[in-house]
Structure 1
Amino acid sequence: MADLPSDDKKSDPLLRALGKIGEGSGFLWKIFIISIIPAIFSGMHAVSYVFTAEIPSHWCELKELTLANWSKENVKSISSASSCTFYNYNYTYFVEIGYAEALKYTKEHTFPESLKCTNFLFGNELDRKSMVEEWGLVCEKSHQRATVQMALSLGKTIGAISFGTLSDKFGRKKSFIIGVMLSTLSGPLSAIVPWYWAFIFLRLVIGSSHTAILSATYTILTEVAGNKHREWMGTAYNCGYPIGTIILTGIAYLSYDWRQIQLTCSLIPLILILFIWFLPESPRWLISKGRREEARDIIEKTYGKIIQDNTRISISTIESTVMKSIKLKSERNKKINSFYRNFQSLKLLCSHPELRKRSAIMSFCWLVASMAYYALALNGTNFSVNSYLYTFLLGLTEIPSYLLPIPLLMAMGRRTSTSLLYFISSFALLSILVIPESEKNIIMVAGLMGRFAISAVFGVIILYTCELFPTVTRNTAFGTSSGMSHFGSISAPLIVDILGSKAWWAPSTFCAFFVLFAGILSLTLPETKGRELTNTVEEELQESKKFEKSLCC
């Protein structure tokens, strides 16, 4: 993407008009509303797993007993060795003598060997039928339950890679349209397909479509909003996710089947189809691509007619200058090896020990924050708390967590704020170990406190990551670090399911130790509060040393 020369940025009437619009206009508010609504829908899908994949009590189904019309409870009391095994009795004989005599027989004789279940019966304690019951995702298939959530996270990762490039090359709106179309097809279809692996594929597509939609709308918002509104709009945008979590709680409470939840979460976002006609292409992207007439048409609908700037330079003159600059850059770029050009930033990032250290630490911090964030959202079942109340409070407490970093950053700086939030989260999660299992409400409060702090971490490390690196490596460092967060979200359901099956406190404790380690590592990073951003690696290293020395003195 070609950049405008600095002088042209100041004198370009299109960019100046766009800046005026970004300071406050109906156009800006329209972009903001279109941006925040998809975030709400994404939050609904991301947490729906809590209700659609609930695990009911289960035990082995014995065909002989089922065909003889024995009740589920009678089958369980006679045959169940565990939730995944049954005693190897002669069940044909049990059918002949009846339940009462069979029960007497089991009490008078030693238990035979136990065998693994091939089919299951499920209890009726849940408020709805779960996909776990429909597809038998228990025991040896329990990993397939976690795959449901992993597919969504993997889809988001694939979407971030593919649609980020597509958006830069072909435009933000095209990426948005493709995302909406994919969501429109995959969402409702995922609620009706009878095959597990087809559902997993559609879940992956849903994740990719959400990334396409969210990245496109957020990029347009940041490219339109001026400094006056960009910060608070970014915070408000993040609140869309917990709002979706709160709405999902109501949908789940009123639903009697997991497919109804899936369908509702997929039909509501169909409103995004209407946004295709209201969402404009990013004027800033159009200008950078030399498509100035299209950008002018969009800007003039709000700003009014643009004739010339204050220095009497006509648009045609500016366009001529801009196109000349783009042409010169294009000719110069042809002389640069394409492979070197694409990976030059990564090479710089890896060639300096200090930058390597910072990148490794921030990547770990992003991974741990995402892992703990999603693991705690999915861990309500292991806490044995009311899933509706827990999920509702997760969304409710997450909203103020996005506001907490603002005073922290002003008072303590980046490094101290980051480590403090990690330590608070770790302390809250470790405190669960000393709380009696019977004190469910206290356990829930501790879990919510840990989740609150880890949610607030994101508001700090986003800014901190950008400030730790010079311009020549900033985008690569940020992309690498934030990209690690997807691995954290992918691992979260496995942590909850595998460790949760061993001990109810294991997932939260596992996350606590990693969160604690992330907090300790963040203390080794330099402070960046009040320091100017640097452009080159050498400048960054020099300024960092000077700034740290001034803090010590």
Structure 2
Amino acid sequence: MEVSEPKYRAAVSILIFLPWALCLIVLGGYGYLLRDWRWFSVTTSLPCLLFLPMLLFLDESPRWRHDDALRILRKSARWNKAQLPPEEELRALMDLIRKEGLTANKEGDASTSGLVSSLRNIVEDVVVLVRTRRMRSITLSFYAQFFVLGIVYYGLSFGADKLGVDPFVYMAVSGVMEVPGGTLTIPLVEKMGRRASSTLFFVVIAGSLLVLGFIPDALEWLVVTMAMLGRLAITAAYQIVVLYVSELFPTEVRVRGIGTCTMVSEIGAMLAPFILESLGSIKPWVPLVMFGVAAFVASVITFWLPESRGAPMLDTVASLEAAYGAAEDARDSSLDHELTDKSATDTR
């Protein structure tokens, strides 16, 4: 995301989920044939070893690793047949970025100080996400969204038995539904923007789950249809919000912001099976209605976030506060003028 051109961000961020969808399709059939969960876990974990040599070909973000930035930029320019500015201009730009951000200095202090100072720096790294007004609004909004994404996505994933359908077929068809969620959303987020498209899919999730909760079990085809519609919508929402959070969090807090959002999502994922079992024992539709209401709340929360389509990825929290603060001030000023003009018209 950090090294992609703005016009390619949506495609890069969303298409990386396409192999996930294809693997879900394969795993449905693989699990049906293998059955033994221990061998299933072993054989699906071994391919992760293939990631280790890939690490040799990945570069650090050139934004903060200033010692390596010039080498990385030269390699990128060579691969893309692009022309770099003069070296003096690049070094001046890196010096400017170094002065704007204090992250490198903080990390250096943490590595040379004692345990207490290191823990204090860790707390400081987390607190920075909620210290300022706009940063706090963005962080808490995304926490709520990721919690809903985790609880609904895995609630639908684990709920095949509650819906009375074959779990292997359900998983394979779920993967099929994730394919359009990982492709068709690209032009959508470019046309509608991140905020409107994520709101739309949260509303679709809420509607499909609320309807699903009250469909008779005898209408199995309709149950599966609404469940798959919810699966498509939650997949699309997940991918759009991942893109959205990557663009809004400034570089100096992006890793910790996305990391804590992922942690909140996993908390929702852990709660999903317990909600299905405990509330599902009361009435099968209760957890589905709860998930639907949560998705609707997430759609409302999305309105608190600024739009990031076409906007530059900011480097510091200070730049985020200044950028979106100026936008809010301009919007408030425009609203004041409209109210003043309306009041003058009414008086006349």
Q: Is the 8 A contact 1:414 1:528 kept in 2?
A: yes
Aligned equivalent of 1:545? 328
**Shift of the alpha carbon at 1:362?**
1.5
Matched, 1:429 2:209: yes
Q: Is the 8 A contact 2:214 2:285 kept in 1?
A: no
Q: Is the 8 A contact 1:379 1:507 kept in 2?
A: no
Matching of residues 250-265 of structure 1 within 5 Å: 250-265=29-44
Distance 1:550 1:247, change over 3 A: farther
**Shift of the alpha carbon at 1:544?**
3.3
Q: Is the 8 A contact 1:527 1:548 kept in 2?
A: no
Out of 429, 438, 443, the residue aligned to residue 218 of structure 2 is: 438
> For residues 291 and 542 of structure 1, what CA distance do their matches in structure 2 show?
33
> For residues 177 and 156 of structure 2, what CA distance do their matches in structure 1 show?
13
Aligned equivalent of 2:346? none
Aligned equivalent of 1:240? 19
Q: Which has the higher contact order (CA 8 A, sep 6+)?
A: 2
Distance 1:390 1:541, change over 3 A: same
Q: State the AA in 1 paired with 2:29.
A: G
Aligned equivalent of 2:176? 396
> For residues 548 and 466 of structure 1, what CA distance do their matches in structure 2 show?
25
Distance 1:334 1:399, change over 3 A: same
Provide Cα deviations, 1:510-538, integer angstroms capped at 9, x if missing partner.
21111111112222334444545554154
Aligned equivalent of 1:518? 298
Task: Report the structure number with the largest CA radius of gyration.
Answer: 1
Out of 275, 279, 282, the residue aligned to residue 58 of structure 2 is: 282
Out of 460, 480, 505, the residue aligned to residue 240 of structure 2 is: 460
Q: State the AA in 1 paired with 2:15.
A: A
Matching of residues 187-202 of structure 1 within 5 Å: none
> For residues 412 and 266 of structure 1, what CA distance do their matches in structure 2 show?
38
Percentage of pairs with the same residue: 25
Q: Is the 8 A contact 1:469 1:540 kept in 2?
A: no
How many residues of Structure 1 are paired with residues of Structure 2 in the alignment? 315
Provide Cα deviations, 1:489-527, integer angstroms capped at 9, x if missing partner.
111221222223333223222211111111122223344
Q: Is the 8 A contact 1:224 1:284 kept in 2?
A: no
Q: Higher helix share goes to which structure?
A: 2
**Shift of the alpha carbon at 1:417?**
1.9
Provide Cα deviations, 1:125-159, integer angstroms capped at 9, x if missing partner.
xxxxxxxxxxxxxxxxxxxxxxxxxxxxxxxxxxx
Structure 2 unmatched ranges of 5 or more? 99-103, 339-348
> For residues 253 and 55 of structure 2, what CA distance do their matches in structure 1 show?
32
> For residues 288 and 181 of structure 2, what CA distance do their matches in structure 1 show?
19
Name the Cα RMSD after superposition: 4.3
**Shift of the alpha carbon at 1:487?**
0.6
Matched, 1:359 2:139: yes
Out of 221, 230, 239, the residue aligned to residue 450 of structure 1 is: 230
> For residues 465 and 223 of structure 1, what CA distance do their matches in structure 2 show?
12
Out of 153, 158, 182, the residue aligned to residue 373 of structure 1 is: 153
Distance 1:454 1:437, change over 3 A: same
> For residues 542 and 419 of structure 1, what CA distance do their matches in structure 2 show?
23
Aligned equivalent of 1:493? 273
Provide Cα deviations, 1:250-278, integer angstroms capped at 9, x if missing partner.
112223544453444345x2xx5466456
**Shift of the alpha carbon at 1:246?**
0.8
Distance 1:279 1:415, change over 3 A: closer
Q: Is the 8 A contact 2:13 2:239 kept in 1?
A: no
Q: Is the 8 A contact 2:10 2:189 kept in 1?
A: no
TM-score if structure 2 supplies the norm length? 0.72
> For residues 356 and 516 of structure 1, what CA distance do their matches in structure 2 show?
22
> For residues 87 and 109 of structure 2, what CA distance do their matches in structure 1 show?
35
> For residues 533 and 285 of structure 1, what CA distance do their matches in structure 2 show?
13
